Homo-oligomer: A and B are copies of this chain.
Amino acid sequence: MRDAITVGTINHRVVDAEYAVRGPIVARAQQLERALRDGEKLPFDKVVYCNIGNPHSLGQRPISFFRQVLAAIDCEAVAGAFAADVLERAEECKRKIKGGTGAYSESKGVESLRERVVRGITKRDGIPANIDDVYLIDGASAGCHYLMNVLIRGEQDAIMCPIPQYPLYSAALTLYGGTLTPYYLDEETGWSMDVEHVKSQLNAARAQGKNVRALVVINPGNPTGNVLSDDNLLDIAKFCADEGLLIISDEVYQENIYADGKKFKSMRKVVLEAGLDKRVALASFQSISKGYYGECGRRGGFMELIGAWEQGVLDAILKLASIALCPNLAGQIVTSMVMDPPVEGDPSYKQFAQERDDILASLKRRSITLSNALNSLEGVTCQPADGAMYCFPNLVFPQKFLDECAAANKVADAEYCTRLLLATGIVTVPGSGFGQKPGTWHFRTTFLPSEEDIAGVAVKLTNFHGEFMSQYK
């Protein structure tokens, strides 16, 4: 047998996988950006990428301490330029990382850097962490792939995911050939999680013969921006323990909390405090791409595996990590610093704290500017962003527009986002890319454009939406 290599004869799972955050609307935006650069006249003079949580691309400055340490490690010649704690951290790295940033490390990451992560987790949760549980990874995506690859044998194996969800989970499930069992977050109550509903979805999946292996929690939420309450988290943990589900807790926005009175509690702390770790296995993710640091391009983060894991399963996960050799060293180093940054009294602390606080305060202001603007639009309601980097407004479209989309075989929110792009240069992701309750429509936009730009984004959105609605009156 001899098939030519065509889209019809390759692995259909790759063809079927969808990842809207970098999907067709983004490809269109890149074309428009090239057209602008080539001097073409368009209704806007720049493309604003609100499709992805990529803060530095929109002007956020890196945290100086992190970059100074990296520079001091890379290059002896620069040592004189830095404060004592920068040099100390760099010296520690040079001393303890065998071969430096140019050498493959152990597949789980450098031991001394994982020790720093352990210190950070311990401080965050007030419960000692264990170095053997910590796997440094090239961003949370890598950890997600390892888990899905291990858990999924075929389409009978299912993972419960929130809807709406970050489409990495759905894309990975499609790639590995598993099934996504959805549970819907409740928009009316600020995207909270109703465990009774989750249970009924689980039972329905089991009744269909699905082997449901794990439940994904994204907290703070993406795309929803909600922060789950402590009670809600405990209910989920108990539920997973009772039902024999692995908990996959995506906590990459753990430092992005804006709402007064809300704070982040890790699923790890919930599980350990409740003494559930003998009965449930937990995988948590943290990433250096988010938080106040936003070091997306470094590709770093960690995965922590605690609780009732079988050693053979841990060995299989480590084997996958070892086939990829090791996570990149600069990302590993930044991960260690994000989890164990300068503390009060360190020479760099003041500047570090100032930079961190300025970024978080500005993100909070921007989230309010944008959600207020969205809530003022006809037919649009937007839950406040407690955390993360996104607004996920609900759009009630005019029936005439829906009919038009149906007739043209177009997905209504994708069509809306495309028109928004063509009219304003603002790149967003349609709600259908994340999943949503049937009959509802949304889009996701980051609130990452700079303080000066965000007001302009709000005005453009308002003008576009006004014209759009009047067109369908």
Contacts and interface: CB of A to CB of B under 8 A. Distances in A.
Interface residues of A, number: 96
A57 interface: yes
Nearest to A174: B323
A260 interface: no
Given A10-B151, A329-B297, A99 B141 contact: no
Interface string A295-334: 1111100000000011011011001101111111111000
A172 B141 CA distance: 19
B104 A1 contact: no
A59 B322 CA distance: 22
A211 B2 contact: yes
A57 B299 contact: no
Contacts of A7: 310, 312-313, 315-316
Nearest to A8: B312
Interface stretch (A69-77, A368-376, A425-433): A69-77
A52 interface: yes
Contacts of A105: 297
Contacts of A387: none
A107 interface: yes
A151 B53 CA distance: 31
A5 to B, nearest CB: 6
Most buried by B among A57, A75, A295: A75
A328 B325 contact: no
A453 to B, nearest CB: 14
B138 A319 contact: no
A17 B325 contact: no
Contact of A106 (B30, B209, B299, B328): B30
A409 interface: no
A222 interface: no
A104 to B, nearest CB: 4
A149 B75 contact: no
Contacts of A55: 102-103
Contacts of A6: 310, 312-313
Nearest to A329: B297
Contact of A17 (B101, B151, B319, B329): B319
Interface in A22-36: 22, 30
B328 A150 contact: no
B62 A19 contact: no
Interface string A62-103: 100001101110110110011000000000000000111111
A139 interface: yes
A11 interface: yes
A281 interface: yes
Nearest to A12: B153
A58 to B, nearest CB: 7
Interface string A141-185: 110000001111100100000000000100110011000000000
B70 A297 contact: no
A124 interface: no
A18 to B, nearest CB: 9
A104 B54 contact: yes
A4 B57 CA distance: 43
A128 to B, nearest CB: 21
B19 A211 contact: no
A237 interface: no
A70 B59 CA distance: 20
Contacts of A10: 150-151, 153, 313, 316
A74 B70 contact: yes
A169 to B, nearest CB: 11
Contacts of A289: 104
A213 interface: yes
A274 interface: no
Contacts of A296: 102-104, 325
Interface string A267-311: 000000000000001000000010000111111000000000110
Contacts of A363: none
Interface string A428-466: 000000000000000000000000000000000000000
13 contacts: A1-B156, A2-B212, A5-B281, A11-B151, A14-B319, A14-B320, A30-B106, A70-B70, A77-B82, A102-B297, A104-B289, A138-B138, A299-B325
Cβ-closest 10 pairs across A and B? A7-B312, A57-B99, A297-B329, A78-B78, A71-B75, A56-B102, A56-B99, A57-B103, A22-B322, A299-B328
